Amino acid sequence: MLGFLFLHPRVYVADPQQTVLNLVEGETLARLRLLAEFAIIFTQALTAIWFYRLFRDSNEWAALATAIWGTVNAVVIMFSAIAMGVAIETALSSLDMEVKVAHIDLLTGLMSNAWGIGSLFFGLWLIPMGYIITSSKRMPIWLGRILIIGGVGYVLSACINYAGISGSWVGTLTIPATIGEFWIIGYLLIFGIRPVQD
């Protein structure tokens, strides 16, 4: 996520012509940004499978849903990475500047929309994860509830954004998901998971 937060705005900006210049003059930074996207894809896929392994004894169906939807997250982000790779190649090509600008504009739109539509699955994988926690009581019940609320919030934010509704309040819908994600990471690192109750 650090690549998305810190590197991305230094390469990909609202003005496609400036983005072309950023890609040409800062090729190393652009490639680092792409490698950061690879890291997100890799860790997301591994995390999805790891959560399946962690939760399958509690509820195999919900654990499988978590793994599948979490893996779809990785696949969706892969579309963004593909667009970044093509953007770098396009910027460094011998095409006319007008053609480069048009292609880069399209590719940056693909990147942002991959993440935007990906919000559906960023939310969906949290819902069965939260359900497992609330039903198994292997972790704090409110952690599970926050994950479910956050998952629904992510799905709603994607639907609201693509319905053309805007407002600062839309971004607040994903706050519970962020809280839940940090909470579950911290809880697992500090306390682990309680044994399955018979």
Predicted confidence at residue 99, as pLDDT, reads 96
CA–CA separation, 84 and 62 (whole Å) = 33
Any domain includes 197:
no
Residue 3 DSSP symbol: I
Q: What is the pLDDT of residue 2?
A: 62
Counting Cα atoms < 13 Å in the Cβ hemisphere of 147 gives 24
State the pLDDT at residue 4: 67
> Is 95 domain-assigned?
yes
Residue 184 inside a domain? The answer is yes
pTM for the whole thing? 0.89
Name the one residue in this structure whose structure tokens are 């982000």: 77
pLDDT tens by residue, the chain, 198 residues: 666 678 889 999 999 999 999 999 999 999 999 999 999 999 999 999 999 999 999 999 999 999 999 999 999 999 999 999 999 999 999 999 999 999 999 999 999 999 999 999 999 999 999 999 999 999 999 999 999 999 999 999 999 999 999 888 998 999 999 999 999 999 999 999 888 765
Establish if 195 belongs to a structural domain: no
In a domain, 198, yes or no: no
* Neighbour tally for 14: CB within 10 Å: 9
Which is nearest to 48 in space by CA: 65, 26, 25?
A: 65
pLDDT at 49: 97
Position 9 in a domain? yes
Place of tokens 């680092």: 32
The span from the CA of 88 to the CA of 34, in Å, is: 9
Residue 33, domain member (yes or no): yes
In-domain check, residue 196 = no
The domain in which residue 157 lies consists of 2-190
**Number of domains forming the structure of the chain:** 1
Buried b / exposed e over 99-121, threshold 16 CB at 10 Å, is: ebbebbbebbebbeebbeebbbb
| 39 DSSP 8-state letter | H
